[in-house]
């Protein structure tokens, strides 16, 4: 996602960048167990390559790395925000083998047909053209691989509360 084009700006979130980093880490901690139950069947079991597209702080990327059956599976995180990528790299430590790349989801600087699994979570709702991002990310998936998108339907944000007066006694 291009920071200039998308609606997601960590510095503008409640609590600024530091608050947003804490929120992302907490969100990952709370959602990972449920998400992995779904992703486990999509992930490569022997070698291969996985991409976390829109990885932010790397909170899910690190959990994904730890959960993969084969430590030889290459894991890459892609994000457009340098500050969040710096956090991701620092959180991984010196022994971290995750590769973090700066880039836009609509024009990712990564090889086509390379990944067994491309995961993008809670990113598409912020993109000006999620269809273009889906096409670009799908092009990164090798034959037989999977593109997994976890997101909310942004069209439902602010959905009017239903009239429940008929239920009142």
How large is the average pLDDT for residues 51-72? 95
How large is the average pLDDT for residues 116-124? 96
In three-state secondary structure terms, 78 is strand
**How far is residue 91 CA from its own chain's centroid?**
16
pLDDT score of 169 more than 60: no
What mean pLDDT value characterizes the chain?
87
Looking at residue 154, what is its pLDDT?
60
Q: Supply 90's token pair.
A: 């620092």
**Which domains does the chain possess?**
10-152 (3.40.50.150)
Q: pLDDT band for 157, please (50, 70, 90 cuts).
A: low
How large is the average pLDDT for residues 150-166? 69
Looking at residue 123, what is its pLDDT?
93
Structure confidence by residue, pLDDT tens digits, 95-110: 689 999 999 999 999 9
DSSP letter for each residue of 113-141: T-EEEEEEES-GGG-S-HHHHHHHHHTTE
Looking at residue 4, what is its pLDDT?
41
* 125 burial type by CB count under 10 A (0-12 exposed, 13-18 middle, 19+ buried): middle
Q: pLDDT band for 152, please (50, 70, 90 cuts).
A: confident
């Amino acid at each position: 996602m291009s920071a200039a084009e998308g609606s997601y700006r960590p510095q503008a979130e409640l609590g600024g960048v530091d608050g947003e980093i804490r929120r992302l880490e907490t969100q990952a901690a709370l959602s990972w167990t449920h998400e992995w139950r779904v992703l486990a069947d999509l992930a490569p079991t022997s070698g291969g390559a996985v991409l976390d597209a829109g990885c932010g702080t790397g909170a899910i990327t690190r959990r994904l790395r730890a959960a993969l059956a084969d430590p030889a599976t290459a894991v890459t995180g892609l994000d457009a925000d340098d500050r969040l990528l710096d956090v991701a790299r620092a959180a991984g430590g010196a022994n971290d083998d995750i590769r973090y790349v700066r880039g836009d989801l609509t024009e990712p600087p990564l090889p086509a047909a390379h990944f067994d699994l491309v995961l993008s979570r809670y990113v598409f709702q912020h993109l000006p053209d999620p269809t273009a991002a889906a096409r670009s990310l799908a092009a990164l998936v090798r034959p037989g691989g999977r593109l997994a998108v976890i997101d909310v339907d942004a069209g439902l944000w602010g959905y009017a509360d239903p009239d429940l007066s008929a239920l009142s006694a």
